[in-house]
Amino acid sequence: MSKFETVNVTCDGAVARVAFNRPDSLNAMNGQMRREFYAAAREINMDEAIRVVILTGEGRAFGAGADLADDSAGADLMVGAQTRDDLIHEFKPGVLAIAEAPKVWIAAINGPCAGISYSYAMACDLVVMAEDAYLYQPFSAIGLIPDGGSTWLLQKLIGNKRAFELMTLGEKLGAQKALEWGMANRVFEKAAFADEAKEFAENLAGRSPLALRYTKEALRFATTASLGDTITKEADLQEFCISSEDCPNAVAAFFAKKPYTWKGR
């Protein structure tokens, strides 16, 4: 695995941990970070040994959004044309690397999660939050709209009215409310957060790799497909799973009450 400066990557068995690593700026995303994140995500997504990825932040924040003072690309992020280019050519690939990955991505939100960092978190398949963490859409306070796919992601998660409220009023959404609204799967105590998030990921990593991958694919397909097309898609994927090496052996192990080691094929 390559080494990066603004993103920390570690692997433990079938679980990878990817952490935004600019803690002194609350992991605000500069040009280097968004490019390094995409490179790291591509490597992990191609690594067959990895089944589940934890996305988090070093220090006390998950991420503060885009670094508005970043001039690493030779132009101010607040210049309109530059912002458009960065959103399309650098932020977009990073968000899609999560959403379209053949792996399960878990956002482990350890603290404040704001702006476009919010998009990276919501693009994940699952979200766990520390009890004192919060989600924040600050855009309307500075005359901007949510970006990085937030309008699509939040509308799918919580509907138009709640999404519009969060985006226009700019109120911080705490972990417990995020859980109630279906934006988070688990809330863990702060002191045990890292360990609980890892245990959650390891539990998933112990499941069938094919089931994880193709359940994600089916759900993503269903977001824009009809019921009939979704049933056909499920049938196609089910045929593939049943024809795999894992399925008959796992069924035999289940009836024999024995553990089965997944091959992922």
pLDDT at position 70 over 90:
no
The CATH architecture of the domain made up of 7-205 is: Alpha-Beta Complex (3.90)
Mean of pLDDT values over 164-172:
93
What mean pLDDT do residues 117-140 have?
96
| Strand order across the 104-109 sheet | 7-12, 15-20, 52-57, 104-109, 126-130, 186-188
Of all residues in the chain, the percent with pLDDT exceeding 90 is: 77
Tens-place pLDDT, residues 229-261? 999 999 999 998 989 888 888 888 888 888 878
Residue 144 CB contacts under 8 Å (≥ 6 apart), including other chains: none
Average pLDDT of the chain, as a whole number: 91
pTM of the shown model: 0.91
Does the CA dihedral 159-98-48-235 come out positive or negative? positive
Tell me the longest C-alpha to C-alpha distance in the chain: 64
Q: Three-state SS for 264?
A: coil
Q: Can you give the residue ranges of every domain in the chain?
A: 7-205, 209-255
pLDDT digits (tens, 9 = 90+) for 82-113: 788 888 888 999 999 999 999 999 999 999 99
Please, which pLDDT band fits residue 78 given cuts at 50, 70 and 90? low
Which of 53 and 139 is assigned the larger pLDDT? 53
Strand locations in 120-219, DSSP E?
126-130, 134-136, 173-174, 186-188
- Report the pLDDT value the prediction gives residue 76, as an integer from 0 to 100: 52
Q: What is the pLDDT of residues 183-220, one digit of tens each?
A: 999 999 999 999 999 999 999 999 999 999 999 999 99
Owner of token pair 């109120």: 171
Note the pLDDT of residue 245.
Answer: 83
User: What is the model's pLDDT at position 75?
Assistant: 45
Task: Give φ, ψ of 105 to 5 degrees.
Answer: -110, 130
Instruction: Report the amino acid identity of residue 160.
Output: N
Placement of tokens 């490179």 in the chain: 39
Q: What is the mean pLDDT of residues 15-30?
A: 96
Cα 70 versus chain centre, distance:
24
